[in-house]
Amino acid sequence: MTGAPRVSILRPDPEEVRPRGAVSSVQEAEIVVGRDVLDRIWGPDNLELLARAYWAFLRRMSLGVIRVHYSATARTVTAFGRIPLLRFGTPLYETGEGHGRVTWPIESGILVAREGRGRGSLRVSVERLDRDGADSASGRVRLIARVEVESFYPGLRGRGRFSRFGARLYEQTQLRIHVLVCNAYLRSLPRLDFPAIDRSGLPSGAA
């Protein structure tokens, strides 16, 4: 017996948003799990499942309002399956000694300001902290899991005189919701609640 998994959120609150420039956000958690759990989430194939689990979790948290359309070259986050909120390009999967990550480039969508189209990214990553074997006796391993948004230009912020109020509006609405969803997703990772994959290679029930 290795004990129940433990998740500690390390960055619970969103950062302050400026009236101009790119916005970045990092949510991360330290996760302690048994090695049997690690074996099921580590490696290129299972890293893809972690990524798909993020989109499936987003849909569940929104009670189906937020849906993701999959294609060979893009992921489009929509409202009610019709309104394109965010469009991401082809994901890039990377694995190395003690870490793995998947990055989606941000392409377009009504939540992205015009100057932010084709810029920025969303990334989910996992990093092992026990590579020195310090936790081997207990049969448990420590991980840092992160959800990062880089160089995002929120459309909700607006321009000109409105931008100062718009920054505050974005901070208290869209960004705060994003942080809550990401932290809930990080807490869910030890449950290995991954979506089933159908014969097409897409999550079952994907729009």
What does each of the 207 residues of the chain score in pLDDT, given as a tens digit? 456 788 999 976 777 899 999 999 999 999 888 777 666 666 666 677 777 788 888 888 888 899 989 888 889 999 999 999 999 999 898 887 778 888 999 999 999 999 999 999 999 998 888 665 545 556 788 889 999 999 999 999 998 999 999 999 999 999 998 999 899 999 988 876 655 544 344 444 454
What pLDDT score does 132 carry? Answer: 53
User: For position 2, what pLDDT does the model report?
Assistant: 55
Task: Break the chain into its structural domains and give their ranges.
Answer: 21-191
Q: Please, are residues 97 and 131 in contact by the beta-carbon 8 Å criterion?
A: yes
Supply the pLDDT for residue 168.
93
Question: Cα separations (Å) of 49 from 42, 46, 81, 196?
Answer: 10, 5, 22, 9
pLDDT in the model for residue 150? 94
The pLDDT value given to residue 199: 37
Q: What is the pLDDT of residue 131?
A: 60
d(CA 57, CA 184): 9
Beta bridge partners of 150: 121
Fold of domain 21-191: Alpha-D-Glucose-1,6-Bisphosphate; Chain A, domain 4 (3.30.530)
Q: Output the pLDDT for position 57.
A: 85
pLDDT at 204: 46
- Whole-number pLDDT of residue 41: 64
Q: What is the pLDDT of residue 48?
A: 72
97: Cβ contacts below 8 Å, ≥ 6 apart: 131
Q: Which residues does residue 143 pair with via DSSP β-bridges, in sequence order? A: 31, 128
Q: Taking the alpha carbons of 14, 127, 117, 119 in that order, is the dihedral positive or negative?
A: positive
| Phi, psi values for residue 94, rounded to 5° | -135, 135
Tokens of 200: 């097409």
